[in-house]
């Protein structure tokens, strides 16, 4: 032997990795056989290119407990020692998306999308719950405040429109269309009368003088308002109102509401009203100067409105 070289079989000179080098192989170096604490299975070397792609490494497992120093673990077996040279358990399916059959890692994109979807669902659910709560409060507050409006305030209800049409249909009569009795007569000397031609009834300032209006077309029984337009001056006046042949209530108030003075009837035009009950169909309304009345007036027009109103 050459001095300084005891051979590859001498333990103290043996390089455990000598078999990897050309000079070690020339000297007869061999892979370790387990004498240095390495299990035989892990010391086997595959030639370059011998690994078969398309097979994935086994899933990580908990590290086995080590045996005694220099002894192989009873729970360990290299993948190459299994039948077929590949693990038979915990082997994930190969990817079908291309890449030469190489296995892929976890689908992090899919997990991220799933997480975002869950967060979005939670946020939407909270929003819906909050909106529902507001609606309950509003509905509760609305119920406490009383019934809501069911129509625009500016628009009349159908019943109001019908009432307005009925009221509009009720007649108005001018002085010259009235029946005159007891010395009452037509005149037109004083200005301010609204009746056709400025004609009014004069001569009522004596007992028995009467104007009578026969009203047709009253739509129904009930309360109505009869308006009388007249002129007077100075002291308040009052006359008798008769409805369907019967005196109605107290005297018809014909006060000097215009505050005309010194007999100036042109400045004394005003109106008064009463609330008689009329029958459906035809009714008679009379204004007369009875005993004890004050009748120094000029009478212009009469008209009706349904219900008890003031204008």
pLDDT of residue 114: 78
Residue pair 9/24 in contact by the 8 Å Cβ criterion: no
**Predicted local confidence at residue 288, as pLDDT:** 97
Instruction: Give pLDDT, residue 126.
Output: 79
pLDDT score recorded for residue 274: 96
Encode pLDDT of 157-198 as tens digits. 445 444 444 454 799 999 999 999 999 999 999 999 999 999
What's the CA gap between 253 and 256, in Å, rounded?
10
CA 130/CA 97 separation, integer angstroms: 44
3-state SS of 81-108 is HCHHHCCCCCCCCCCCCCCCCCCCCCCH
119 CB neighbour count, 10 Å cutoff: 10
Per the structure block, which two tokens stand in for 74?
């009873």
Give pTM, 2 decimals.
Answer: 0.48
- Does 222 have pLDDT greater than 70? yes
Interval 37-41 mean pLDDT: 46
Contact predicate 117/81, CB 8 Å: no
Give the chain's length: 311
Residue 256 pLDDT > 60: yes
| Cα(136)–Cα(127) distance, integer angstroms | 14
> Cα(292)–Cα(72) distance, rounded to whole angstroms?
144
What confidence tier does 250 reach under pLDDT thresholds 50, 70, 90?
A: confident
Model pLDDT for residues 44-85, shown as the tens digit of each residue: 555 555 555 555 545 555 554 554 445 555 555 555 555 555
**Those residues with Cβ within 8 angstroms of residue 184's Cβ, 6 or more apart along the chain or in another chain:** 201, 202, 203, 204, 209, 210, 211
Q: How is residue 125 written in tokens? A: 């659910």
| pLDDT at site 252 | 96
**Which residue carries 């204004």 as its tokens?**
287
Quick check: 223 pLDDT over 90?
Answer: yes
Please report where in the chains the tokens 């027009």 appear, as a residue: 301
Q: How far is CA 198 from the centre of its chain?
A: 59
In SS3 terms, 176-233 reads as HHCEEECCCEEECCCCCCCCHHHCEEECCCCCCCEEEEEEEEECCCEEEEEEEEEECC
Q: What is the DSSP string of 2-42?
A: -TT---TT-GGG--TTGGGSHHHHHTT-----STTS--GGG
Cβ within 8 Å of residue 129, ≥6 positions away:
none
What is the percent of the chain where pLDDT is above 70?
Answer: 52
Token pair listed for 45: 């070397």
289: pLDDT strictly greater than 60 = yes
* CB 300, CB 200: distance < 8 Å: yes
Q: Is 85 helix (H, G, I), strand (E, B) or coil?
A: helix
Closest by Cα among 86, 99, 92 to 51: 86
pLDDT band at 121 (very low <50, low <70, confident <90, very high): confident
Q: Which residues contact 242 (CB under 8 A, 6 or more apart)?
A: 248, 284, 285, 286, 287, 288
């Amino acid at each position: 032997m050459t001095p300084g070289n005891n051979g590859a079989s001498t333990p103290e000179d043996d390089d455990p990795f000598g078999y990897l080098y050309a000079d070690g192989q020339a000297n007869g170096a061999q892979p370790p056989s387990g004498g240095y604490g390495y299990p035989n299975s892990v010391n086997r070397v595959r030639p370059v290119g011998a690994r078969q792609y398309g097979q994935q490494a086994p899933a990580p497992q908990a590290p086995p407990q080590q045996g005694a120093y220099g002894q192989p673990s009873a729970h360990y077996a290299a993948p190459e020692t299994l039948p077929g040279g590949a693990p038979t358990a915990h082997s994930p399916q190969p990817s079908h998306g291309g890449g030469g059959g190489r296995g892929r890692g976890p689908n992090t994109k899919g997990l991220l999308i799933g997480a975002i979807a869950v967060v979005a669902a939670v946020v939407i659910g909270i929003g819906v719950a909050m909106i529902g709560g507001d609606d309950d409060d509003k509905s509760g507050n609305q119920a406490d405040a009383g019934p809501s409006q069911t129509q625009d305030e500016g628009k009349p209800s159908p019943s109001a429109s019908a009432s307005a049409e009925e009221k509009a249909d009720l007649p108005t009569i001018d002085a010259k269309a009235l029946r005159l009795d007891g010395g009452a007569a037509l005149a037109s000397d004083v200005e301010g009368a609204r009746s056709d031609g400025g004609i009014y009834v004069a001569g009522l300032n004596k007992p028995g003088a009467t104007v009578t209006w026969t009203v047709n077309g009253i739509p129904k029984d009930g309360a109505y308002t009869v308006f009388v337009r007249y002129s007077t001056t100075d002291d308040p006046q009052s006359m008798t109102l008769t409805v369907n042949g019967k005196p109605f209530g107290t005297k018809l108030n014909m006060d000097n509401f215009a505050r005309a003075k010194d007999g100036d009837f042109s400045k004394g035009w005003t109106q008064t009203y009463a609330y008689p009950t009329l029958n459906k169909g035809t009714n008679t309304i009379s204004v007369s100067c009875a005993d004890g009345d004050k009748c120094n007036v000029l009478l212009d027009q009469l008209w009706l409105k349904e219900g008890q109103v003031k204008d």
